[in-house]
Structure 1
Amino acid sequence: MLRIEQLTKRFGANAAVDNVSFTIDKTAMIGVIGASGAGKSTLLRMINRLADASEGTIAFQGRDVTRLTGSARRKWQSECAMIFQQFNLVPRMDVVSNVLHGTLNRRSTFSTLFNLYPTEDIHTAIEILDRLGIADHAPKRAEALSGGQQQRVAIARALMQDPQIILADEPIASLDPMNAQIVMDALRRIHEEDGRMVIANLHTLDTARRYCDRVIGMRMGRVVFDGTPDQLTTGVARDIYGAGAEFSEAATSTDINALAEARHAVTA
């Protein structure tokens, strides 16, 4: 379905993504892990065409995404929705209107200027919010919601695009463990129930193991691991993060129990 071949992104003399190749041949939930600066976000931005590749190709169902321009590129960005760490909502706008922004690529300039939405789209937006457990917040301003709730609004906006792929760039990095679990549960349900491909950049190993069918590890712009969650051992993780024997998974865990144990060990 998705084929990445020798993909490279250079910024001056530095390669943020360096000759990356992998194929996803069926709908799956993929986790991309690695230290900050490993190239994870740049990779997703190239897939979505928010950034252009310096070299290489991205193909989806036989279509060369790297060559798309104009309306064809915008159509691809609608089919390949992006979720960001900082939510990218309009803070003073109500929740349901933020969700309806997921339809902008298929609306006229006139309707966009005057915020005119078909009744069917409004009903769909409410249904998606209900599915994510936040329909009661539909009339509130986005800024009135918690971080976890705002991230679910961002997921709802992505679903309004009816995408084939959802790209999530560090979707839980700014959330507490409880909200992180709610957001990851939602992404996993979307994959399983809708049959959508989900590719998520993640910092934590326990999250990747728990939610993903496949894990890709990046270090200094290159893929250094590509395997199943069971193959993601502590030794492999040390190689991905370039860490020594002092590396502790508990320090980066999003699991509530693991965090409690880590705090107890520090204070004991």
Structure 2
Amino acid sequence: MLQVQTLTKTFGERTAVDRASFSVDQPRMIGVIGRSGAGKSTLLRMLNRLSDASSGTILFNGRDITALKGAERRKWQSRCAMIFQQFNLVPRMDVVSNVLHGTLNRRSTLATMFNLYPTEDIHHAIEILDRLGIADQAPKRAEALSGGQQQRVAIARALMQDPAVILADEPIASLDPMNAQIVMEALRRIHEEDDRMVIANLHTLDTARRYCDRVIGMRDGRIVFDGTPEQLTTGVARDIYGAGADFSEAATSTEIATLDRTDAERLKAGALA
């Protein structure tokens, strides 16, 4: 389905992504991990064509995505939906209207100007919100929702595009552990139930292991690991993050059970001190 061949992005003398290559033969849920500045976000932006590659190619079902321009490029961005860490919602607009913005690429300029939506699109938006457990929030302003709810609205907006690929750029980085779990479970269900490819940039190893079929590790713009969650050992993680022997996975955990266990160990250590 997806082939990335020696994809490179430079900013002046700095190379953000350095000859990245990987292929995906069927819809998978893929986690991309690495420390800040490793090139994860730049990679996703090139896949979505928000950013142009300096060199290399992206092929989807044999079509050269890097060569698309104008309307064809916008069509690809509808088929390859992007979810951002900052949600990118319109705060003062109601939730269902934010979700309906996922149809903008296929609506006329006049309909967009007057905020006109077909009844079937409105019903579909509410169905998607119901699927994500937030249909009761549909009439509220987006700014009135919690961070986790807003991220689910962003996921609903992406689903309105009916994409073949969903790219999620640090979708849980600004969320508490409970909401992070809800959002990741939603993305996993979408992958499994809709047979959609999901590629998510993640900071934490436990999240990648729990929700992803495959993990790609990036360091200094290069792919240094590409394997199964089971192959992502602590030693491999040290290499990806450029960490020493004192590297602790618990320090980067978003899993509630791990956090509870870590807190308990700290309390025990304090009691023995």
TM-score by length of 1: 0.99
- Supply the distance in 2 between the matched residues of 1:49 and 1:255 (Cα, whole angstroms): 32
Question: Which residue number corresponds to residue 149 of structure 1?
Answer: 149
Deviation at residue 265 of structure 1 after TM alignment: 3.1
What code does the residue aligned with 1:113 have? Answer: M
What code does the residue aligned with 2:227 have? Answer: G
Deviation at residue 260 of structure 1 after TM alignment: 1.8
SS at match of 1:96: helix
Percent identity over paired residues: 81
Residue-by-residue CA offset, 1:180-199 (whole Å, 9 max, x unaligned): 00000000000000000000
What code does the residue aligned with 1:242 have? Answer: G
How large is the RMSD of aligned CA atoms in angstroms?
A: 0.6
Question: Which residue number corresponds to residue 197 of structure 1?
Answer: 197
What code does the residue aligned with 1:76 have? Answer: W
Question: Which residue number corresponds to residue 35 of structure 2?
Answer: 35
Question: Which residue number corresponds to residue 118 of structure 2?
Answer: 118
Q: Which runs of 5+ in 1 are unaligned?
A: none
- Supply the distance in 2 between the matched residues of 1:266 and 1:64 (Cα, whole angstroms): 52
Range with bigger deviation, 248-257 or 126-135: 248-257
TM-score by length of 2: 0.97
What code does the residue aligned with 1:135 have? Answer: A
Question: Which residue number corresponds to residue 56 of structure 1?
Answer: 56
- Supply the distance in 2 between the matched residues of 1:261 and 1:198 (Cα, whole angstroms): 30
- Supply the distance in 1 between the matched residues of 2:106 and 2:255 (Cα, whole angstroms): 40
1:222 has 2:195 as partner: no
> When the two structures are aligned, how many residues end up with a matched partner?
268
- Supply the distance in 2 between the matched residues of 1:164 and 1:210 (Cα, whole angstroms): 23
Q: Which runs of 5+ in 2 are unaligned?
A: none
Question: Which residue number corresponds to residue 183 of structure 1?
Answer: 183
Task: Map 1:223-262 to 2 at 5 A.
Answer: 223-262=223-262
Deviation at residue 3 of structure 1 after TM alignment: 0.2
Question: Which residue number corresponds to residue 159 of structure 2?
Answer: 159
- Supply the distance in 1 between the matched residues of 2:264 and 2:208 (Cα, whole angstroms): 24
Residue-by-residue CA offset, 1:80-126 (whole Å, 9 max, x unaligned): 00000010000000000000000000000000000000000000000
SS at match of 1:188: helix
Structure 1 runs (4+) greater than 6 angstroms displaced:
none
- Supply the distance in 2 between the matched residues of 1:140 and 1:175 (Cα, whole angstroms): 20
